[in-house]
Structure 1
Amino acid sequence: MPQRRPERGVEVEEEFGAVRGARQVADFALKVEVEVGSLREAVEAAEAGADLVLLDNFRPEELHATAAALKARFPSVGVEASGGITLANLPQFCGPHIDIISLGMLTQAAPALDFSLKLFAEGATPVCHAYRT
C-alpha cells in the first residue's frame, strides 16, 4: 500500500516510480533530484536512482543526522539542504555531508528588473520608441 505524505498530497510509491522512469530516459548529463521530508524517503529516493536528494525544512540537527546516514549508504548521492535557511542561520546548515545549500531568500527578496532585447535583420533600421511608464 503506498504511503501518503499529507503535506504534499503525493503517493510515495508513485513519486519514486517517476524517479525510476526519469532515470531510464534521462541523458547521462541530466540529474534527477527528489525533495524529501524524512530519512526513509531519502533512502527510497536514492534506491530509486535519484542523483540528488533535497532535504526540505529539516532542523539543523535532523538535517546533519539524515545526511550522514544517507551518505553512509549512498556516498555518490548529492545532498541539498533547503527551507528556512537564511544568511543569519546559514552556518548551522553547513556540514561535511551537505553538498548544496539553497537559500530561497536570495531570489525571493530580489527586486524585479524589466528589460527586453530587440533583434533587427541585417541592414534594417531600428525605430526608436519612447519609453512609456
Structure 2
Amino acid sequence: MLTTIQIDTVVSAALREDAPWGDLTGEVFLPAAATATASLRAREAGVLSGIDVFAAAFRLTDPSVEVTALAEDGDRFETGQELAVVSGPARAVVQAERIALNLTQRMSGIATLTRALVDAVEGTGARITDTRKTTPGLRALERHAVRCGGGVNHRFSLSDAVMAKDNHLAILQQQGLDLTAAIRAARARLGHTTALEVEVDRLEQIEPVIAGGVDIIMLDNFTPEQLVRGVEIVAGRAIVEASGTVNLETVGEIARTGVDVISSGALTHSARHLDLGLDIALTAGAER
C-alpha cells in the first residue's frame, strides 16, 4: 500500500512545479467565493489506480475540497463510468485538476497494461512483475499501479537485493574471476534474509550460476525453446525469472515454458496514460 508520506511527497512537488506562485488564471478569472463540483469520468475502459493520489492533489491545494471516491484501486471500469466526485472552492478545484489527472491517468494506464498481461498468463502459475525502469521520482506510485493491475513488484531499489546483471558478469570475466566462486563469495557476505539473483543470457551459464547458490536466476532474452530447456536445467533449484521481449503477444507462450516469474520493464516505461476526464461545473458564485 502507498503511504500518505509517499503520496504527499510526490503530489506536493508536482503542485509546486505546476503553480509555484499560485494559479494566475484562476485568481483573475474566478470569483473567490465560487464553488464547483467535478466528476472524474472514464473516457475509456481500464483498471483504476491512484484514487488516493487523485484526492491528495485537491487536499494539498485546499483542505476544504472534498473528494468522494466511487471506485477503488484495482477496480475495472467501463467507458463513461463516474469514478469520483470533487466539490469545493472553484479556484482550488481548477488549480489541482491537471496534477490530479496526470498522476491518476499515468497510474491507471500502468494498472490496465499490467492486468492485460496478468490475464494473458492466467492458469500457468507464472507471475508478472515490474522492473526498475520507472519514472524518476514516481517509482512508489508506478509500483503501486502494477500491484493494482494484479502484478507483483521486483526489488524496489539497488539497496534491497543482490542482482548481478550482464555488466557485472562482464567485469568479473574481465578480471579473470570464476563465476561460481564469485557468487559463493557474494553469498558469504550477505545476511540470510537477502535474496541473490543472477542474470544469464546463455544456457551454458546456468549450471555455474546455480552451483554458486543463487535464489533466483534470470533467463534474459531466451527463446521459448531455450526457456523450456533452462527450466529443465534449473530443475527447481532456484526461482526462474524470464525477461526480455515480453508483450501481450509473447507473454502467454513465455508463461507456458514453466518459468516462475516474468518481468517486464514495459509495464512502467511503455504504458500509455489512460484517458480520464474531470468535468467541472460552477455551482455558486460571488463578487470578489
Q: Distance in 1 between matches of 2:258 and 2:250?
A: 17
The residue number in structure 2 matching 1:62 is 226
1:85 paired with 2:275, answer no
Over aligned residue pairs, what C-alpha RMSD do you find? Answer: 2.6
Report which of the two has the higher share of helix.
2
Are the aligned partners of 1:81 and 1:102 in contact in 2 as well (CA < 8 Å)? Answer: yes
1:33 paired with 2:194, answer no
Consecutive unaligned residues of structure 2, counting only runs of 5 or more, are: 1-165, 273-288
1:23 paired with 2:183, answer no
Deviations, residues 19-78 of structure 1 (Å, cap 9, x unaligned): 11221121111111000112221111000111111000001111112112221xxx2311
- 1:13/1:42 CA distance change after superposition, 3 Å: farther
Are the aligned partners of 2:216 and 2:239 in contact in 1 as well (CA < 8 Å)? Answer: yes
Aligned amino acid, residue 109 of structure 1: S
What SS is found at the alignment partner of 2:183?
helix
Larger Rg: 2
Aligned amino acid, residue 219 of structure 2: L
Aligned partner (choices 84, 97, 102) of residue 263 of structure 2: 102
After TM superposition, give the deviation of residue 110 of structure 1 in Å: 4.3
Are the aligned partners of 2:203 and 2:226 in contact in 1 as well (CA < 8 Å)? Answer: no
Deviations, residues 77-108 of structure 1 (Å, cap 9, x unaligned): 11100011112210010136311100111121
List structure 1 runs of 4+ shifted beyond 2 angstroms: 12-18
Give the number of the structure with larger relative contact order, counting CA–CA contacts within 8 Å between residues 6 or more apart.
2
Q: Could you tell me the percent identity over the aligned residues?
A: 30
The residue number in structure 1 matching 2:279 is none
Consecutive unaligned residues of structure 1, counting only runs of 5 or more, are: 112-133
Are the aligned partners of 2:206 and 2:233 in contact in 1 as well (CA < 8 Å)? Answer: no
Are the aligned partners of 1:39 and 1:70 in contact in 2 as well (CA < 8 Å)? Answer: no
Q: Distance in 1 between matches of 2:223 and 2:257?
A: 16
Aligned amino acid, residue 49 of structure 1: G
The residue number in structure 2 matching 1:47 is 211
Report which of the two has the higher share of strand.
2
How many pairs are equivalent? 104
What SS is found at the alignment partner of 1:107?
helix
Aligned amino acid, residue 253 of structure 2: Q
